């Protein structure tokens, strides 16, 4: 099967699982569930679940083994976007071209929907399952909590918010994004491996290094795409970091150097998985997609 078809298949699979994970129970307060579903099923690229599926297969695991971490990481990602959009944070009114959760519902519901998505992620991961031994599940819960929390994504967000309006060095910018965006991307790969039973060893370590490189590439590309979007808005305000006057890779390095950096990161990422030959082809193709994507 070609990679695009396979990615399409994984995307549809995770979409269905996400829908099922929330819509099976009757709710005392339907707006909460609606807000969660609204944010979850609102057309994301599903990059993190795709990384889980591919890493799990790369480590010899099956599709059903990858399901729980794929769903969990997308729920967690979705919570982070809902909270990132809140008035107290980035105060955005649009996400993926549609009203953000607090605009479509209200602020309190959006906060609670984010909280509930975050906790639902860990409920998914820790649910008793015939697919894993207990140490595998514990390893995944630990990896996700570490990547998402105060030593990972939340720390990156706090650092970002506390430096609004201040200049950052390239090193600080890199550290911030490694936490804010990169930690979850690497975690997707790590959980994919753990779901397959790979709890240590060179394959896991290589996936980790690969994840760190493509996480950085993801952010550099995101900044470049923001510039294209901003210049397309004919001077209208945009929600991008660039438009908010936050430091970005292009603002610190310039456009051409960013493009060169992207190519270098992709090359380094390829080198990390090169010892595994064709077994790594799909992961490399996804890395390529991250670097070449147009949205
Ligand atoms: C609120 C604790 C807390 C954290 C928020 C991830 C994050 C931290 C904020 C998002 C801000 C942002 C736009 C960062 C740029 C990179 C990024 C994570 C983009 C969104 O991820 P995609 O492109 O989103 O995978 P889709 O829409 O495809 O799911």
Which has more pLDDT, 42 or 61? Answer: 61
* Minimum-distance ligand 1 atom for the alpha carbon of 78: 29
pLDDT confidence bin for 188, thresholds 50/70/90: very high
* Minimum-distance ligand 1 atom for the alpha carbon of 74: 29
Continuous segment of H or E residues that includes residue 1 = none
* Minimum-distance ligand 1 atom for the alpha carbon of 43: 27
Supply the range of the domain harboring residue 250. 3-292
Q: CA 66 to CA 82: how far, in whole Å?
A: 25
Q: CA 112 to CA 96: how far, in whole Å?
A: 20
* Minimum-distance ligand 1 atom for the alpha carbon of 86: 1
* Minimum-distance ligand 1 atom for the alpha carbon of 42: 27
Q: CA 229 to CA 207: how far, in whole Å?
A: 32
Q: CA 230 to CA 226: how far, in whole Å?
A: 6
Given the cut 0.90, state whether the ipTM is greater than it.
Answer: yes
Q: Which residues line ligand 1 (CB under 6 A)?
A: 44-45, 47, 80-81, 83-84, 89, 96, 153-154, 157, 180-181, 219, 222
pLDDT digits (tens, 9 = 90+) for 221-271: 999 998 887 766 433 335 667 667 778 899 899 999 999 999 999 999 999
Distance (Å) from CA 233 to ligand 1 centroid: 21
Please tell me the total count of domains within the chain: 1
**pLDDT of residue 184 exceeding 90:** yes
Asked if residue 37 lies in contact with residue 93, where contact means CB atoms within 8 angstroms, the answer is no
The CATH number of whichever domain residue 155 belongs to comes to: 1.10.600.10
The structure tokens listed for 173 are: 């910018």
Residue 27: the pLDDT is: 80
* Minimum-distance ligand 1 atom for the alpha carbon of 89: 1
Distance (Å) from CA 84 to ligand 1 centroid: 8
Average pLDDT for the chain? 92
Mutate to test the pocket of ligand 1, among 52, 84, 148, 250 (most ligand atoms within 8 A of CB): 84
Mutate to test the pocket of ligand 1, among 45, 81, 157 (most ligand atoms within 8 A of CB): 81
Q: How far is CA 266 from CA 7, 226, 263, 285, in A?
A: 20, 20, 5, 10
Name the residue at shortest CA distance from atom 20 of ligand 1. 81
Asked if residue 214 lies in contact with residue 155, where contact means CB atoms within 8 angstroms, the answer is no
Alpha carbon 16 to its chain centroid, in Å, reads: 18
Asked if residue 212 lies in contact with residue 178, where contact means CB atoms within 8 angstroms, the answer is yes
Beta bridge pairs of residue 98:
95
Tell the residue number behind the tokens 């998985």, with chain if given: 273
Distance (Å) from CA 277 to ligand 1 centroid: 32
- Choose from 2-11, 78-87, 162-171 the range with maximum mean pLDDT: 78-87
Residue 113: the pLDDT is: 97
Beta bridge pairs of residue 99:
94
Nearest Cα neighbor of 66 from 194, 164, 162 is: 194
Name the residue at shortest CA distance from atom 10 of ligand 1. 81
Continuous segment of H or E residues that includes residue 79 = helix 63-84
Buried b (16+ CB within 10 A) or exposed e, 58-69: bbebeeebbbbb
């Amino acid at each position: 099967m070609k990679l695009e078809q396979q990615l399409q298949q994984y995307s549809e699979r995770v979409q269905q699982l996400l829908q099922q994970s929330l819509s099976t129970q009757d709710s005392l307060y339907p707006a909460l569930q609606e807000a969660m579903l609204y944010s979850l099923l609102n057309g994301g690229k599903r990059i993190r679940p795709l990384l889980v599926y591919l890493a799990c297969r790369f480590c010899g695991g099956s599709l059903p083994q990858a399901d729980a971490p794929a769903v969990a990481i997308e729920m967690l990602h979705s919570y982070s976007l809902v909270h990132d959009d809140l008035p107290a944070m980035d105060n955005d009114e649009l996400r993926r071209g549609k009203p953000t959760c607090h605009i479509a519902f209200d602020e309190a519901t959006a906060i609670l929907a984010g909280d509930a998505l975050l906790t639902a992620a860990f409920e998914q991961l820790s649910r008793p399952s015939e697919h894993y031994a207990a140490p595998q599940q514990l390893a995944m819960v630990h990896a996700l909590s570490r990547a998402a929390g105060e030593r990972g994504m939340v720390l990156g967000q706090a650092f970002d918010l506390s430096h609004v309006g201040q200049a950052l060095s390239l090193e600080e910018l890199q550290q911030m994004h490694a936490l804010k965006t990169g930690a979850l991307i690497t975690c997707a790969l790590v959980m994919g491996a753990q779901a397959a039973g790979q709890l240590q060893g060179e394959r896991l370590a290589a996936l980790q290094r690969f994840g760190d490189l493509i996480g950085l590439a993801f952010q550099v590309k995101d900044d470049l795409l923001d510039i294209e979007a901003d210049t397309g808005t004919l001077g209208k305000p945009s929600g991008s970091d660039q438009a908010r006057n936050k430091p970005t890779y292009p603002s610190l390095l310039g456009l051409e150097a960013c493009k060169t950096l992207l190519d270098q990161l992709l090359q380094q990422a390829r080198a990390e998985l090169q010892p595994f030959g064709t077994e790594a082809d799909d992961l490399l193709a996804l890395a390529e997609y991250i670097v070449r994507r147009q949205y």
